[in-house]
Amino acid sequence: MESLAEQCGRLLLSPEEAAALDVRGRIDAAVLVPLYVQQDGELRAVFTRRRSDLRRHAGEISFPGGRQDIEEEDLRQTALRESEEEIGLPRDAVEIVGALTPTPTVVTNYAIYPFVGVIEAGHRWLPSTAEVAEVLELSLADLKRGYERKRLVRRGVPFRSDVYTADGQVIWGAPARILGDLLERLAPVIR
């Protein structure tokens, strides 16, 4: 039987394929999409809820990550470094198994490169008090069932967005686009 890492590797882009894709955005950034399988076989992803007092994306749910600090740094290393800083996930506890299509942010002009990593279940999170209000572990099957196109209002401006909801948590914007790509590619392994 194939491991989760093998299944994901077969269904995802390679990091090199993703890095070769051009995406609108002036500032390169990377996120890690940490995945694990619970004892009952359920596939889960790890997200962060950003602090509500942050200047950008306050209170929003996202994947751990951030901008590339050193231009020559491999974006995979950016994702791993930021995940270690934001949620206390040691770099050596992650097996990067593939990548997703890069996605732009509209307001902040980022080009986000998502990398998928497999981790062990039961990790003890150490969220950065400067950035992270909460670490969330959500079922991919629940998120898939919780998809809808919804009208949202942000800073008084109404807009329509793809939204994923699970356990009362609402994911929208760039993280929702990344999640949509993940759910589509991993459809054969999501129960």
CATH number of the domain encompassing residue 73 = 3.90.79.10
Classify residue 176: in a domain, yes or no.
no
Tokens 């097996």 correspond to: 95
- What residue type is 161 in one-letter code? S
Classify residue 27: in a domain, yes or no.
yes
pLDDT digits (tens, 9 = 90+) for 37-64: 998 999 999 999 988 777 666 668 999 9
- What's the rounded Cα separation, in Å, for the pair 66 and 128? 13
Classify residue 171: in a domain, yes or no.
no
Classify residue 111: in a domain, yes or no.
yes
Residue 109, both tokens: 């002009």
pLDDT digits (tens, 9 = 90+) for 165-186: 999 999 998 999 999 999 999 9
pLDDT digits (tens, 9 = 90+) for 125-161: 999 999 899 999 999 999 999 999 887 767 677 778 8
Classify residue 175: in a domain, yes or no.
no
Give the number of other Cβ atoms within 10 Å of residue 121's Cβ. Answer: 11
pLDDT digits (tens, 9 = 90+) for 89-121: 999 999 999 999 999 987 788 899 999 999 999
- What's the rounded Cα separation, in Å, for the pair 127 and 10? 31
The pLDDT value recorded for residue 94 is 98
Residue 88, both tokens: 């206390």
Burial class (CB in 10 A: 0-12, 13-18, 19+), 4: middle
Classify residue 156: in a domain, yes or no.
no
- What's the rounded Cα separation, in Å, for the pair 141 and 191? 6
Residue 149, both tokens: 């196109």
The pLDDT value recorded for residue 63 is 97
**C-alpha closest to that of 79 among 120, 53, 105, 46:** 46
Classify residue 184: in a domain, yes or no.
no
**C-alpha closest to that of 174 among 73, 71, 21, 47:** 47
Q: Which domain holds residue 15?
A: 4-142
Domain count, the chain: 1
Classify residue 20: in a domain, yes or no.
yes
pTM of the model: 0.93
Query: Which DSSP letter does residue 72 get?
Result: T
Residue 120, both tokens: 């062990």
DSSP 16-40: HHHHHS--S-SEEEEEEEEEEE-TT
Contact 110, 121 (CB under 8 A): no
